[in-house]
A and B are shown apart, each in its own frame.
Chain A
């Protein structure tokens, strides 16, 4: 019996997913556990495994299509079975008319197609003021909008359709199409931006007869990139960020790790990384500094009871930040284990979207890449982020002699709207003290 496969809903906030790749094509044999297709949300990517066996009878969407969750995407069954009844509503028109004239569905309003269109750079674009304003507010690149209004005019419903299909662009992109980057001030009545306020975009150079190939390649941003871009710009443009640096003596931490390595197996304690140690110390020290374990929203600082630690993970698709919830209640080995699992899920792309939000403080580690110092960018609405750097050998004078010791630099970025320099320094100092006396901290 033919059975449809739906686009799963990954988390309550997900309305649609983009089909990244089809692993089966029509006519292929399908066995349970076979990967049918991979798909992604704006936050993560997933693979859909078949629960059925049979033949791939029909595929309703192509790679790159944005498919509403719970919509049929393909049908598996026995060769020869009909798939027509599974076609999603929006696809009906493509079906050949079953004899006679096709009558427009009376109850369906003329829905704007959600695809984008490409226009040449010098094409005059007809767009209603309302549609243009909506595009600007929502960061939609209207130059790519389909035009369903009279005389090829882009109207409100076209922009709405683009928003619905996830074609909203970043603020930077919006500024890009306006042509002059940030900081356009309207000098017209009521602050309207007039033509004179815009630096007329330079006319694109006539496409050179480039025999040696194209001058450049446009790589579309993935959804994850778009989200990252939006978050970063929002962070840097709305938060007063200031970074503080301080290093600590790693002698105690190294000794502790050596001890774990030696006796951990006996006590069934797994590998503890330096990052795990820092996560643990942070989860404890944060309890003494509520402004750091907080969100700044609408002129309020929301201090959290527990610590939900965001751990920045580098993946192929880009930066992801899964959350260790209630880290302050977890032991070092529990933290270590969870951090490892979360990182693996991110790398694999199978992380549950709900685990990618809700952090109250973030730790970002570039130490393995040799960074000595950097400026972490706060993940809004959090109030601070800790950057972890590489291990360096430093010298100091002990009893008149120059001695070397292993040291690690910590880069703390704090939101100066909430946290002044002195409290930021006190937090970092306490963290350094905790790490330099790590075993004492464990005893607490």
Chain B
């Protein structure tokens, strides 16, 4: 909502019509004779060879999957194989014109794209560059497995071709020499030195991620385009539409600064093979008739959408040349509807019950390789024997590579019995990288001139005055100021850092954490996103994969569900699925609300803590908020950063001397004792810290019970030692948070404490969380969220009856059974 743009009622209410441009459909009509001016014989033959390699590679996998045997090589591959016979021309045509700094992201059916892009890269890189890539990858292990087994020793391109095919197949066979050490597998193989970025087992999963990589190229002024290779069925997925919407947002051209005000260099390339598993996308599961039509709904440029004949590699190349030029001119995004057909089933185990033999025979007659060969021989480019020779070469290449990849002596698997930490060690990268790229950081003003910085300078950084009285809210350095300082510092330090989300600029973000950033940070680094949580998080993943650092804000924690796949399957998994090759320096800010009812008040720490690969923090004090945000921003791991709207305005009450002005880190995983005691331990998550402290005061004054209050600060990782030490002392523990109690992180911590301190416990650990209800309206919240009295009730009823105390809440066994039985 920038003030510079006038929302004009006269314009908006005026009568008129919307005009659409015609959408081209299979317009390519050049003959081979005409194309001879663009391609040499070698080019034509290389196109054939690349398609033949893909065809033979997939055929080999089909035979291995269905017969455990290919051309004398015996192997059993229990893993997935989604094959792309029939789609070779669309893959080779796309890759033909791409450079190394053009990135492709793929789908579960992307073996062909990996090979095509890799072969294209090998053609374009010098021998020295290729040797560097191969020698440096996994310490040369992959190279060693195939080195010396070439027909023409010294032919680096032949060696690199073997390397490419072997690296991909070893990955599919889950071997340690594979492109991702066999950790990613068939649906996730990639090789960034050739510009091949991750494929994705979630339909359409690459759309938001590729868009994020394009955002990286735009915001950091990097060359190259980015392609999201997704299927026709992905048009049914919301995140794909979110990605297209966000990629087309007007502000880039209208508001972003000179030099950055060009459309995102993103091509949404749909390999339209007509089926989503067995569902026919045209005629059955969707209604677009022509997929290319979709672009007209996104922006006035209609995303330059057109349909291309994906059964003719030359048609695809011709279209790609034009689209790439558009993207390089800043006219993105682009949508391509590449018609193709998969000859095999969704997977080898499937019998194509949803289509007729007649249909499959009709497509077999159009076979990509046979038609191409026929056209070429007819045009006198080469003789049938030359094509036969290529097929022979390809078959011997695939046979050789298959034998090497299958051989356990050459291609072992990671031995988890011998290296039990092999996967554990790649779950997090745990690095400290102050800036992702070493260049000046582009900002609009010196830090000290920022109005928010000047305002904060007048604030009291310690929460109490000389007489020990709390400093008023207006004069105290608040939790929101702590987050702001950490973020601002990093903006000045790391030139790749960008931040976005809903209403982050002029509005200041939810609860004004970002107020003051609008003045300091240029648009291309700090902007309002559409209300597209999947695209916000997915693009952050792609931005980080491409080499940048991001803070994405989701406003309310409740909106996290809208980015479910992006958080649970993408953000969390790519560091480990890449065997540690990728880094994921992404901070997702989510704010836990109150007063706003059932869909704006939830603490979902448990959901994200459950997913391996995410770090989770929930600071409750200004000191911890600044220190944890600084640690998150210095790190290379994905962090879900919880904030509570109840306590954005608290001053620092614990860290003597107040919140330091300079940068410092609070380490992840270390809980902090906020109040020492000896009779009972209270471990708190987030804002419940303050209610626990109130309870501790009552316990001390009325019942002479001394409570030790520990602030968890982060949930993942979590070092239990301090908590266990406390429980050894007290024998009693309450774990409290604002999340619904069932399946909460509190319940998880209670289980761990029970396991680790069982013999020291004087009562079972008690979880004090919210009820398993919807959050009621503000006026009824005290019956839902933990209150100071709830802590005392819990102690009285489940741990140690207090003399003369009458509890409100019901913590009895019978009540627990009743609620569980009813699921409430």
A124 to chain B, nearest CB (A): 15
B759 contact from A103, A133, A153, A155, Cβ within 8 A: A133
B705 within 8 A of A: yes
Q: B760 contacts which chain A residues (CB < 8 A)?
A: 129-130, 133
Closest-by-CB residue of B relative to A192 is: B759
A266 within 8 A of B: no
Q: How far is the CA of A192 from the CA of B760 in the complex (A)?
A: 13
Query: In the complex where A107-B704, A149-B763 touch, is A130 in contact with B731 (Cβ < 8 A)?
Result: yes
Closest-by-CB residue of B relative to A104 is: B804
Does A108 contact B704, Cβ atoms closer than 8 Å?
yes
Closest-by-CB residue of A relative to B703 is: A109
B550 to chain A, nearest CB (A): 45
B794 to chain A, nearest CB (A): 10
Does B731 contact A128, Cβ atoms closer than 8 Å?
yes
Q: How far is the CA of A442 from the CA of B762 in the complex (A)?
A: 65
B803 within 8 A of A: yes
Q: A131 contacts which chain B residues (CB < 8 A)?
A: 762
Q: How far is the CA of A108 from the CA of B813 in the complex (A)?
A: 28
A106 within 8 A of B: yes
B802 within 8 A of A: yes
A181 to chain B, nearest CB (A): 23
Q: How far is the CA of A150 from the CA of B813 in the complex (A)?
A: 10
Q: B702 contacts which chain A residues (CB < 8 A)?
A: 106
Q: How far is the CA of A149 from the CA of B813 in the complex (A)?
A: 13
Within 8 A of A (CB), among B797-824: 797-804, 813
Q: B731 contacts which chain A residues (CB < 8 A)?
A: 128, 130, 156
B801 contact from A106, A133, A150, Cβ within 8 A: A150
Q: B800 contacts which chain A residues (CB < 8 A)?
A: 110, 148-150, 155, 157
Q: B799 contacts which chain A residues (CB < 8 A)?
A: 149-150, 155
A128 to chain B, nearest CB (A): 4
Contact with B along A149-162 (1 / 0, CB 8 A): 11101011100000
Within 8 A of B (CB), among A152-184: 153, 155-157
B768 to chain A, nearest CB (A): 15
A214 to chain B, nearest CB (A): 37
Q: How far is the CA of A109 from the CA of B702 in the complex (A)?
A: 8
B239 to chain A, nearest CB (A): 47
Closest-by-CB residue of B relative to A132 is: B759
Query: In the complex where A108-B704, A109-B704, A109-B705 touch, is A128 in contact with B762 (Cβ < 8 A)?
Result: yes
Does A110 contact B801, Cβ atoms closer than 8 Å?
yes
A110 to chain B, nearest CB (A): 3
Interface residues on B, range: 20 to 34
A51 to chain B, nearest CB (A): 38
A155 contact from B703, B758, B762, B813, Cβ within 8 A: B762
B703 contact from A110, A150, A151, A157, Cβ within 8 A: A110
Within 8 A of A (CB), among B663-703: 701-703
B774 to chain A, nearest CB (A): 30
Q: How far is the CA of A106 from the CA of B702 in the complex (A)?
A: 5
Does A151 contact B763, Cβ atoms closer than 8 Å?
no
Q: B761 contacts which chain A residues (CB < 8 A)?
A: 128-130
Q: B813 contacts which chain A residues (CB < 8 A)?
A: 151
Q: B804 contacts which chain A residues (CB < 8 A)?
A: 103-104, 110
Q: A107 contacts which chain B residues (CB < 8 A)?
A: 704
Q: A153 contacts which chain B residues (CB < 8 A)?
A: 763
Q: A157 contacts which chain B residues (CB < 8 A)?
A: 800
B805 to chain A, nearest CB (A): 8
Q: A111 contacts which chain B residues (CB < 8 A)?
A: 803
Within 8 A of A (CB), among B756-776: 758-763
Q: How far is the CA of A133 from the CA of B757 in the complex (A)?
A: 12
Q: How far is the CA of A103 from the CA of B803 in the complex (A)?
A: 11
Does B763 contact A108, Cβ atoms closer than 8 Å?
no
Does B759 contact A130, Cβ atoms closer than 8 Å?
yes
Q: B703 contacts which chain A residues (CB < 8 A)?
A: 109-110
Most buried by A among B701, B731, B760: B731
Q: How far is the CA of A110 from the CA of B803 in the complex (A)?
A: 5
Does B801 contact A148, Cβ atoms closer than 8 Å?
yes
Dominant SS among interface residues on chain A: loop
Q: How far is the CA of A150 from the CA of B763 in the complex (A)?
A: 9
Closest-by-CB residue of A relative to B811 is: A150
Most buried by A among B704, B800, B804, B813: B800
Q: How far is the CA of A104 from the CA of B804 in the complex (A)?
A: 6
A68 to chain B, nearest CB (A): 19
A108 contact from B701, B758, B797, B803, Cβ within 8 A: B803
Most buried by B among A131, A155, A157: A155
B111 to chain A, nearest CB (A): 48
Closest-by-CB residue of A relative to B796 is: A150
Q: A192 contacts which chain B residues (CB < 8 A)?
A: 759
Q: How far is the CA of A155 from the CA of B803 in the complex (A)?
A: 15
Q: B763 contacts which chain A residues (CB < 8 A)?
A: 128, 149-150, 153, 155
Q: How far is the CA of A128 from the CA of B766 in the complex (A)?
A: 14
Closest-by-CB residue of A relative to B804 is: A104
Closest-by-CB residue of A relative to B764 is: A128
Does B762 contact A156, Cβ atoms closer than 8 Å?
yes
Q: How far is the CA of A149 from the CA of B797 in the complex (A)?
A: 9
Q: B759 contacts which chain A residues (CB < 8 A)?
A: 129-130, 133, 192
Q: A149 contacts which chain B residues (CB < 8 A)?
A: 762-763, 799-801
Q: B803 contacts which chain A residues (CB < 8 A)?
A: 104, 108-111
Query: In the complex where A109-B704, A149-B763, A155-B763 touch, is A129 in contact with B758 (Cβ < 8 A)?
Result: yes
Q: A156 contacts which chain B residues (CB < 8 A)?
A: 731, 762
Q: A103 contacts which chain B residues (CB < 8 A)?
A: 804
Closest-by-CB residue of A relative to B754 is: A129
Within 8 A of B (CB), among A101-150: 103-104, 106-111, 128-131, 133, 148-150
Most buried by B among A103, A110, A111, A153: A110
Contact with A along B701-716 (1 / 0, CB 8 A): 1111100000000000
Within 8 A of B (CB), among A225-265: none
Q: How far is the CA of A129 from the CA of B763 in the complex (A)?
A: 8
Closest-by-CB residue of B relative to A109 is: B704
Q: How far is the CA of A155 from the CA of B762 in the complex (A)?
A: 6
Q: A129 contacts which chain B residues (CB < 8 A)?
A: 758-762
Q: How far is the CA of A97 from the CA of B701 in the complex (A)?
A: 25
A249 to chain B, nearest CB (A): 62
Q: How far is the CA of A155 from the CA of B680 in the complex (A)?
A: 13
Does B797 contact A150, Cβ atoms closer than 8 Å?
yes
Q: A106 contacts which chain B residues (CB < 8 A)?
A: 701-702
Q: B701 contacts which chain A residues (CB < 8 A)?
A: 106
B755 to chain A, nearest CB (A): 11
Within 8 A of A (CB), among B778-810: 797-804
B804 to chain A, nearest CB (A): 3
B81 to chain A, nearest CB (A): 44
Closest-by-CB residue of A relative to B760 is: A130
Q: How far is the CA of A266 from the CA of B804 in the complex (A)?
A: 76
Q: How far is the CA of A131 from the CA of B758 in the complex (A)?
A: 11
A141 to chain B, nearest CB (A): 19
Q: How far is the CA of A437 from the CA of B208 in the complex (A)?
A: 109
Closest-by-CB residue of A relative to B705 is: A109
Most buried by B among A103, A111, A156: A156
A and B contact pairs by CB, cutoff 8 A, 27 listed = A104-B803, A104-B804, A106-B701, A109-B803, A110-B800, A110-B803, A110-B804, A128-B761, A129-B758, A129-B759, A129-B760, A129-B762, A130-B731, A130-B760, A130-B761, A130-B762, A133-B759, A133-B760, A148-B800, A149-B763, A149-B800, A150-B763, A150-B801, A155-B762, A155-B799, A156-B762, A157-B800
Task: Given contact pairs A103-B804, A109-B705, A110-B804, enumerate 19 new A-B contacts (beta carbons under 8 Å).
Answer: A109-B703, A109-B803, A110-B802, A111-B803, A128-B731, A128-B762, A128-B763, A129-B758, A129-B759, A130-B760, A130-B761, A133-B759, A133-B760, A149-B801, A150-B763, A150-B799, A153-B763, A155-B763, A192-B759
The 10 closest A-B pairs by CB, nearest first: A104-B804, A110-B803, A130-B762, A109-B704, A130-B731, A128-B762, A156-B762, A129-B759, A155-B762, A129-B761
Q: Could you list which residues of chain B lie within 8 angstroms of chain A, going by C-beta atoms?
A: 701-705, 731, 758-763, 797-804, 813
